[in-house]
A and B are shown apart, each in its own frame.
Chain A
Amino acid sequence: MVEQVGAALVIGILLGCLYAVVAIGLSLIFGIIRVINFAHGSIAILFMYLGFLLWRLWGIDPYLSIIIVVPVAFAFGYGVQYILVRPMFVREKTYVVEPLGVLLLLCGLDLVISNGILLAIGPYALAVTNPYISGVIQWGGFLTISVPRLILALVAVGLCFGLFWLLNRTELGNSIRAVGQNREAAAICGLNVHHIYALAFGLGCAVTAFGGCVMLPFYGIYPQMGIGLAIKAFIIVVLGGLGSVPGALLGGIIIGVVESVASQFMPGTMALIISLVLFLIIVLLRPRGLMGTIEV
C-alpha cells in the first residue's frame, strides 16, 4: 500500500512536470502581458505536430528537432502578439477594452489552429515510433520510471530555472519585467513596449514548444487534445499563482500528484473533478495563488 502510494507519488511528479511544461509558458505570458493565452493548448500541439512532421518526413529525432521548432515557435508567438493582439492594446487607449476582448480573439485563434490541424492532417492519433531514447528504470521492484518522462521532468525544471535566470539576471529580463510591472512607466523610460510584449509572447510559445518536442517520444498527439492541455494549464497557473513561473512548476506537480494518487483509489474522472474543486478553493481562499505576487 505504502509502496503503491509512493510509486504513484513519483509518477505524479513526472506527470506534473509534463503539465508544468505547458503551464510555464502560459504563466510567463500572463505575468508580462496580463493576457490569458486562450490558444495555448492549440499552440502547444501545433508545434508538437511540427516536431512530428520533421520526424516523419526527414527522420529528425524529436530531441534534435528542438533546434528547428523552438525558433519557429518564437517567431510565431512574436507574430501573434504583434499582429493580432497589439491592435487591441492600441485601441485600449481610446475606450476600455477589457482583457475579455483579447480572450475572445485568442479563442478564435484556438479554433483556427486546432481545426486547421484537423483539416490538414486528419483526426487520427499519431505517435513517434521507435524513438532514439527509450527504456525504463526499475527501482525496488515496484517503481518503474520511463526514461523519456524523466528527461521531460528535468527539462521542465531546467526551463523553469532558465526562465528565472533570464528574467531576473539579464538586461532583457529587466526590461521584460519592467514592462510587466508598469507599461506606461516603462514606455517613458524608453522601452519599446509592444516589442517587449511580443518578445514575451514569443518566449512563452518557445518554452512550450521546447517542452512539446521533449514530450513527443512518449506522448501521442491528436488535433483535439489542445483543449485538455489548456484546461490543465489554466488550473495550474491559477493554483500556482498567475504570472509566477516557479508557481507554474509547483502547481503542475500538485495537480500531477493529486491525479496520480487519486486514480489509485477512484475512477480517473474523479481526479479531474478534484482538480476543479482545488481550483475553486484556491480562488476562494487565496486568489493570487500559492506563489503569485500579482494582486487581484
Chain B
Amino acid sequence: MKQGTGIGALAERLRRRQIPSGWIVIPVLLILLVILPFVWKQPFYVNIFILIFLFGYLATAWGLVGQSGQLSFGHAAFFGLGAYTSTLLYTQVGVSPWLGMLVGAVVAVIAGAIIGYPTLRLRGVYFALATLAFCVILQIYVRNTQFLGPLTLGASSGLWITPYAGAKGPLFYQFASKTPFYFIALGMLVGVVSLSHLLNRVRLGYYWRAMRSDPDASESLGINVGRYRLMTFLLSCALTALGGSFYAQYFYFISPDRVLDISLSVEIVLVGVVGGWQTVFGPMIGAFIIIPISHIISAQLGSTLFGLHIVVYGIILMLFILYLPRGLNIPVMRGLRWLEAKLQRQPESSSDKPRRKPSGYTGS
C-alpha cells in the first residue's frame, strides 16, 4: 500500500485505523489543557486544575504500587517528607527547592526502604498496615516536635515558606502567578503517566501483571517478587515526595495536619480507586472526576456540615469497590474509542481487515 506524506496521507492513515487511538485523543487534550490558563483566567478555576493535576500525579504515583499488587495507605507520609525536606532546606539553609525536592525524594526513598524492605517480602496485609502505621506515627511525631537538631520543625503549628535571605525568584521555585505552577503540575502529571505507560511496555510491566495476578506463580517462574515490589514502591515514594515539594512551594504553608494527615492518603486512594487502581490512566481520570466534586462539596457544605464530605468519600469508595472494582477507566476508555470510531466513520469494507489492537489500556 502506498503511503505518502502530508495532511492528506495522515487523514488517510487515520481512516484506515493505522494510527493507534491514543495518538488523536491525547494531543488534542494536551493542546486544550495548554491553552486553557490563557483563556480561563480566574484563579479559582486555575487552582482547581492545578489540584487536579497534582492529585492525578499523586494517584498515578501511588497506583504504581497498586500495579505491582500491593496497597499503600501511607503515601501522605512520603508526600509530607518531601514537603518538609525541601521547605526546611529552603527556609533555614537556603538551598533552592529545585535541589531540595531531590533531597526530599532521597529522604522518602530511605524511609520507604525501611518500611518496605521487611514487609514487601511477605504476602498479605503487612505492607498496608506498616504504611498506615508509619503515616500516623510520623504525623504524631512532627506534631509534637519543635526542633530537629539545628532545624525548626514547627510542631503542630507548621511552617510558612518564607524565603531565605535573598533567595527568591524562579530559580528558587517561586513564581508571582499561578500559571507557572499550572504548567509544572501539568508537566508532572504528563511525565508520571508517560512513565507508568512506558514501564508497562518493558519487562517490569510484565512482572507487575504477573505479580498482581498470582505472586506465588510468578515467584516460581523466577521473578523476585519482593525485590520488584520494593523497587516499584521506592520509585513511587520518590515521585510522591516531589509532589510534596510542589505542594509546599505552591501553598506557602505546610503543617502536619495538612501534608501528613491520613485523610490525604485516603484522598489519594479514593482518586486512584475511582479511576481504576492497577491501571495506567485510571488514577488520572479519577482526579478529573473526584477533585472538582470534592471542591464543590466542601465549598458548599464544608463550613456547616463538618465531616460530611469524608462520609461521602467513604460511601463512594465502598460503592466503587463493590460495584465497579476496576474503576471508571474502562467505561471512559470505551467511550473514547466509540467517539473515535464515530469520528473516523470507518468504511464497511474495512471490516474484513484485521483490527488493530487498541492502544489504550483496558486495565487488565
A contacts, CB < 8 Å to B: 36, 84, 87-88, 91, 96-101, 103-105, 107-112, 115-116, 118-119, 123, 223, 227-228, 231, 234-235, 238, 267-269, 272-273, 276, 279-281, 283-284, 287, 296
Contact = CB atoms under 8 A, between A and B. Distances in A.
Contact of A280 (B73, B114, B313, B315): B114
Contacts of A104: 71, 269, 273, 317, 321
Interface string B90-126: 0000000000000000000000001101110011111
Contacts of B125: 36, 99-100, 103
Given A103-B71, A231-B132, A231-B133, A108 B317 contact: yes
Contact of B122 (A88, A103, A231, A283): A283
Interface string B261-293: 010001001000100000000000000000000
B311 A107 contact: no
Contacts of B123: 296
Contacts of B126: 238, 283, 287, 296
Contacts of A276: 133-134, 137
A98 B70 CA distance: 9
Interface residues of B, number: 48
B167 interface: no
Given A118-B306, A287-B122, A279 B130 contact: yes
Specify the main secondary structure of chain B where it touches its partner.
helix
Given A105-B321, A108-B315, A279-B133, 6 more contacts: A96-B213, A100-B125, A109-B318, A112-B315, A269-B141, A284-B118
Contacts of B305: 119
Contacts of B299: none
Contacts of A235: 129, 133
Given A103-B125, A279-B130, A296-B122, A111 B145 contact: no
Contacts of A273: 137, 141
A234 B132 contact: yes
Given A231-B132, A283-B118, A87 B137 contact: no
Contact of B115 (A103, A227, A280, A296): A280
A115 B310 contact: yes
Interface in B127-186: 128-130, 132-134, 136-137, 140-141, 144-145
Contacts of B244: none
B141 A234 contact: no
B311 A119 contact: yes
23 contacts: A96-B213, A99-B124, A101-B321, A103-B71, A105-B317, A105-B321, A108-B318, A109-B314, A109-B318, A111-B266, A112-B311, A227-B136, A231-B132, A238-B129, A267-B144, A268-B144, A269-B144, A269-B145, A272-B141, A279-B130, A280-B119, A280-B130, A283-B130
Contact of A107 (B144, B307, B317): B317
Contacts, number: 124
Contacts of B322: 84, 87-88, 105
Contacts of B318: 84, 105, 108-109, 112
A268 B140 CA distance: 10
Contacts of B314: 107-112, 115
A64 B126 CA distance: 38
B361 to A, nearest CB: 17
A84 B117 CA distance: 33
Contacts of A227: 136, 262
A84 B315 CA distance: 12
Nearest to B213: A96
A267 to B, nearest CB: 7
A85 B221 CA distance: 33
Contact of B317 (A96, A111, A268, A272): A111
Contacts of B310: 111, 115
Contacts of A284: 117-118
B200 to A, nearest CB: 19
Contacts of B266: 107, 111
B69 interface: yes
Nearest to B315: A112
A119 B118 CA distance: 39
A115 B311 contact: yes
A108 B136 CA distance: 18
Given A105-B318, A111-B317, A97 B141 contact: no
A211 to B, nearest CB: 21
Interface in B303-330: 305-308, 310-311, 313-318, 321-322, 325
Contacts of B317: 104-105, 107-108, 111
A247 to B, nearest CB: 15
A104 B308 CA distance: 19
The 8 closest A-B pairs by CB, nearest first: A111-B314, A108-B317, A108-B318, A112-B314, A118-B307, A284-B118, A115-B307, A115-B310
Contacts of B325: 91, 97, 101
A280 B113 CA distance: 12
B122 to A, nearest CB: 5
Contact of A231 (B69, B137, B273, B308): B137
B12 interface: no
Interface in B208-225: 212-214
A116 B321 CA distance: 20
B273 A119 contact: no
